[in-house]
Amino acid sequence: MKLKILVNAMTVAGLLSTSLVATPAMAQSTAKEATTHTKANNDALYGQLPFFDKTDFSNAHKGFIAPLPQDVIKGEKGNVIWNPQQYAFIKEGQKAPDTVNPSLWRQAQLINISGLFEVTDGVYQIRNLDLSNMTIMEGKEGITVIDPLVSAETAKVGMDLYYKNRGKRPVVAVIYTHSHVDHYGGVRGVVDEADVKSGKVKVYAPAGFMKEAVSENIMAGNAMSRRASYMYGNLLKPDAKGQVGAGLGTTTSAGTVTLIEPTHYITEDGQKEVIDGLTYDFMMAPGSEAPSEMLWYVEEKKMIEAAEDVTHTLHNTYSLRGAKIRDPLAWSKYINSAIERWGDKAEIIMAQHHWPTWGNDNVVKLMKSQRDMYRYINDQTLRLANKGLTRDEIAANFALPDGLAKSWAGRGYYGSVSHDVKATYVFYLGWFNGNPATLDELPPVDAAKKYVHYMGGASAILEKAKADYAQGNYRWVAQVVSKVVFADPSNKAARNLEADALEQLGYQAESGPWRNFYLTGAQELRNGVQKLPTPNTASPDTVRAMSPEMFFDFLGVHINGVRAANAKAVFNVDLGKDGGQYKLELENGVLNHSANAVAKEADASITLSRDTLNKIILKETTLKQAQEKGDVTVAGNPAKLDELLSYMDSFDFWFNIVTP
Give the pLDDT confidence of 551-567 residue by residue, as tens digits: 899 889 999 999 999 99
Taking only the tens place, the pLDDT of each residue in 17-56 is 333 444 444 446 689 999 999 999 999 999 999 999 999 9
User: H/E/C letters for each residue in 362-424?
Assistant: HHHHHHHHHHHHHHHHHHHHHHHHHCCCCHHHHHHHCCCCHHHHCCHHHCCCCCCHHHHHHHH
Q: Count other C-beta atoms under 10 Å from residue 85's C-beta.
A: 11
The DSSP bridge pattern shows strands 80-82 and 73-74 to be antiparallel
Output the pLDDT for position 617: 74
Q: Residue 251 and residue 639: Cα distance in Å, rounded?
A: 48
**Got the DSSP string for 294-321?**
EEEEEGGGTEEE-TTTS-SSPPPSS-TT
Residue 626 has pLDDT above 80, yes or no: yes
Q: Which residue has the higher pLDDT, 163 or 254?
A: 163
- In terms of Cα–Cα distance, which of 334, 309, 250 is closest to 515? 250
The model's pTM: 0.93
Mean pLDDT of 459-479: 98
Alpha carbon distances (Å) from 334 to 178, 233, 299, 350, 381? 14, 31, 19, 16, 20
Output the pLDDT for position 641: 84
Q: Which range has the worst mean pLDDT, 65-69, 97-101, 651-655?
A: 651-655
Output the pLDDT for position 586: 97
Q: Residue 310 and residue 303: Cα distance in Å, rounded?
A: 13
Mean pLDDT of 152-178: 98
* Cβ pair 154, 82 in contact under 8 A: yes
* Cβ pair 364, 355 in contact under 8 A: no
Output the pLDDT for position 538: 56
Taking only the tens place, the pLDDT of each residue in 390-438 is 999 999 999 999 999 999 999 999 999 999 999 999 999 999 999 999 9
* Cβ pair 481, 461 in contact under 8 A: yes
Q: Which residue has the higher pLDDT, 2 or 243?
A: 243
Following CA atoms 357, 358, 364, 365 in sequence, which dihedral angle do they give, to the nearest 10 degrees? -60
Output the pLDDT for position 531: 80
Residue 12 has pLDDT above 60, yes or no: no
Q: Residue 349 and residue 362: Cα distance in Å, rounded?
A: 9
Answer positive or negative: Cα dihedral of 478, 481, 487, 490.
negative
Q: What is the mean pLDDT of the chain?
A: 93
Mean pLDDT of 495-499: 98
Output the pLDDT for position 352: 98
Residue 259 has pLDDT above 60, yes or no: yes
**Got the DSSP string for 147-168?**
---S-HHHHHHHHHHHHHHH--
pLDDT tier, 3 (very low <50, low <70, confident <90, very high otherwise): very low
Q: What is the chain's Cα-based Rg?
A: 26
Output the pLDDT for position 349: 98
Output the pLDDT for position 614: 84
In the three-class reduction of DSSP (H, G, I as helix; E, B as strand; rest coil), residue 245 is classed as coil
